[in-house]
Amino acid sequence: MIHITDGYVIDPKTNFQGYRDILIKDGKIAAVAERGTPLAALLQRAGETEAVEHIDAAGKIIAPGLVDVHVHFRDPGFTHKEDIESGAAAAAKGGFTSVVLMANTKPPVDNEETLAYVLGKGRETGLHIYTCANVTVGMKGREIVDMEMLSQAGAAGFTDDGVPILDETLLREALRRAAKLHKPVSLHEENPSRIANNGIHAGEAAAYYGIGGSPREAEICMVERDIRIALEEEADLSIQHISTKEAVELVRQAKKKSAHIWAEATPHHFTLTEKAAIVHGTLAKMNPPLREESDRMAIIEGLRDGTIDMIATDHAPHSAEEKAKPITEAPSGIIGLETALSLGIRELVAPGYLTLMELLGKMSCAPAVLYGLDAGYLAEKGPADLVIFDKDAVWRVEKDGFASKAANSPFIGEEMPGVVVYTICSGKIKYHAE
């Protein structure tokens, strides 16, 4: 058992905040009590007398373990970038206890065998590792997978993330089938026919590199189409890593019509603009690309007013050798699990755009609701999945300091607030900042 004392609890599900002591037993929260409640009283409530491990959380925040519903652990097929073990270590260091993996592996998660492999390796990590299955066979956009079988086998949702689904008829049928299964479909919203060079915004950054880049219209047209179909089919649709002000407004208007439309924003899209791609080169190349300051502020406003439900990292590890290639050849994406909470505190809470309660809700409770996960809250008899962090402590992002195999981050060298001290999953300490 673990006895946590003197911490300031923030629970976004109930909107509760205040000092509490917590007793953990058998993977569950056995008791939540007023600060200073004698341990003997808590043990009596839990029906136990055995010794416990004590954690002094004075000066720290205790929150539900963070939930990220958009990560890439590259396993199977690309384990030189990341694997499920190293990805889970990065998640734990960042305060995450539940993650949903994307399905663009090799082989892709379009079959029961690969799905079972990923879920089996995930269970070995001690974190809650879920995965989506693909929408289409081989991510080729021509044939829908056996969604019913994959759902029964444990798929958390469906996505061809990395590849947009261009066939409107096929997408409509996939959304219809997913709705019957009560599973979300998460879509990568970029039309390749509109893109000259992916990963770099078709603006100042593209001009700097002398390339065509990726225009905002590539995202806008797909978001507009996919929202329309999802509304007609009454299917849960998540717009992934939203990057344009126009797409934010499309989601805002759609949410007035239906609760089935969801959207996620990444920390890099609410923190950086295309200027970062000029400064950091391939370390700031991602799909969709970093765009203009007006887009960044529109994403922040979308988070503030509830248009954007979730913060998801799109944790995308690549090797140093891959990122060292020229701007048009290097793969897109950055790692994000270990910097996400700090960026949320620095870019959203500190300037007053969100309260800490609201930030934690978008990083735990809301994504758990979309995927139907038993996560994102703190309550007696609930899962003992917690993050304990010092919101005021400062740490420096070091290239050799990541738990991830990869270090492709534009934030290396920066100092950030918010130090994760403990990550506890199913009642077991999975990370401790010594």
CA distances from 364 to 106, 130, 316, 375 (A): 29, 15, 20, 7
Task: Show Cβ contacts of residue 396 under 8 Å, excluding neighbours closer than 6 positions.
Answer: 413, 414, 415, 416
Establish whether 314 is a catalytic residue: yes
CB 365, CB 69: distance < 8 Å: no
Tell me which of 314, 374, 385, 392 is the catalytic residue: 314
C-alpha–C-alpha distance, residues 195 and 365, integer Å: 35
Tell me how crowded residue 275 is: count the other CB atoms within 10 A of its CB.
Answer: 16
Residues making up the chain, counted from first to last: 434
Nearest by Cα to 296 from 248, 226, 257, 330 = 248
- Measuring CA to CA, which residue among 115, 110, 119 is closest to residue 144? 110
| Torsion angle in degrees (nearest 10) through CA of 399, 400, 406, 407 | 0
The closest of 219, 216, 145, 221 to 183, measured between CA atoms, is: 145
Using alpha carbons, list the distances in angstroms from residue 395 to 81, 404, 434.
Answer: 25, 17, 13
Q: How far apart are the first and last CA of the chain?
A: 20
Pairing of strands 28-34, 16-25: antiparallel
Structure tokens belonging to residue 73: 């652990």
CB count in 10 Å sphere of residue 150: 24
Q: Label the pairing between strands 310-311 and 53-56.
A: unpaired
Question: Annotated active-site positions, please?
Answer: 314
